[in-house]
Each structure stands twice: as C-alpha cells, then as structure tokens.
Amino acid sequence: MVFVLVSQIRFILLQNRQGKTRLAKYYVPLEDSEKHKVEYEVHRLVVNRDPKFTNFVEFRTHKVIYRRYAGLFFSMCVDITDNELAYLECIHLFVEILDHFFSNVCELDLVFNFHKVYLILDEFILAGELQETSKRAIIERMGELEKQE
C-alpha cells in the first residue's frame, strides 16, 4: 500500500558547495536510490544560482526554498502553494539555533555531531510541521536534554 502523505515540509537538506550532504531529513517515504537522486538534483539546482537571485526554485512538482550560509546550503522542499517567506524565516531560525548551540557553528561541528543536529531539528519540526518558533524555548529544551546525557 502506498500512502500519499501530504506534508508541509517534504525534506530538509544541508549540503556544502561540493554537494556533500551534511544533514538529510525526509518527512515523506523515499527509497535510498531516490534520496540520492533528489540530493544530487537539489544540489545542482541551488549551487549555480547567483546570490542576487530569488531564494525559491521550482523542483519537480514542488518548490525548494534555500539559503546559503557560508559554505552550506540549507534547502527545504515544500508544496507549491506554501508561503515562501515564512519558510525562509524558518531556515533562518534553524541556523540561529545551531549557531547558539554550537557557539558560532561551523561545518565541522555539524559533521561530528550529526546526532545532535537531528535532535535539534526534531525539537523544532515534527512530521514536517513547524512546532516551536521561539528560539529561546528550543534552546532551553536542548539544555534540559543535554543534562540527561
């Protein structure tokens, strides 16, 4: 049985300029080979775009909203009808949280702490839905989780 799940966010990708994926979270079921293809295509789409261009590109029948921070591209795939500006803010919020958590985050932090990055992401987005929009609240929660470890 195949379920067609409608999800606000379909996937989130963090990729560097060379196309290496630093984080991939999918909110819809995809095979491994499909994931590979998707990541390759998204990378090709965003890496060649001029910084002066819009942050929204069409991707298959959806939309990818992306932004580049230093050497990393943060991409979110959403529905065509979704509010682009809102998701741009969402990406920015995620980056701010990572920055706070890792104190001036750099790519290497994400590489060596990938499970923590998933943790943060999960606090803030569940089932493709944005849960928490307050930076403070997420950081507090992460602090509590840290204490447990």
- What are the residues binding other proteins (CB under 8 A)? 1-8, 21-24, 27, 29, 32-33, 35-36, 49-50, 52-58, 79, 81, 83-86, 88-89, 102-104, 106, 109, 111-116, 118-119, 122, 126-127, 129-133, 141, 144-146, 148-149
For residue 140, the minimal CB distance to other proteins (Å) is 10
CB of 95 to other proteins, least distance (A): 16
* Vertex 121: Cα angle to 120 and 126 (nearest 5): 125
Nearest distance from C-beta of residue 68 to other proteins, angstroms = 14
With CA atoms as reference, report the closest residue to 45 among 15, 86, 89, 82.
Answer: 15
Query: What residue type is assigned to position 134 of the chain?
Result: S
Q: Note whether 9 and 94 are within 8 A (CB).
A: no
Whether residue 18 contacts residue 73, with contact meaning beta carbons closer than 8 Å, is answered with no
To other proteins, the closest distance from the beta carbon of 3 in angstroms equals 6
What angle do the packed helices 135-148 and 114-124 form, to 10 degrees? 130
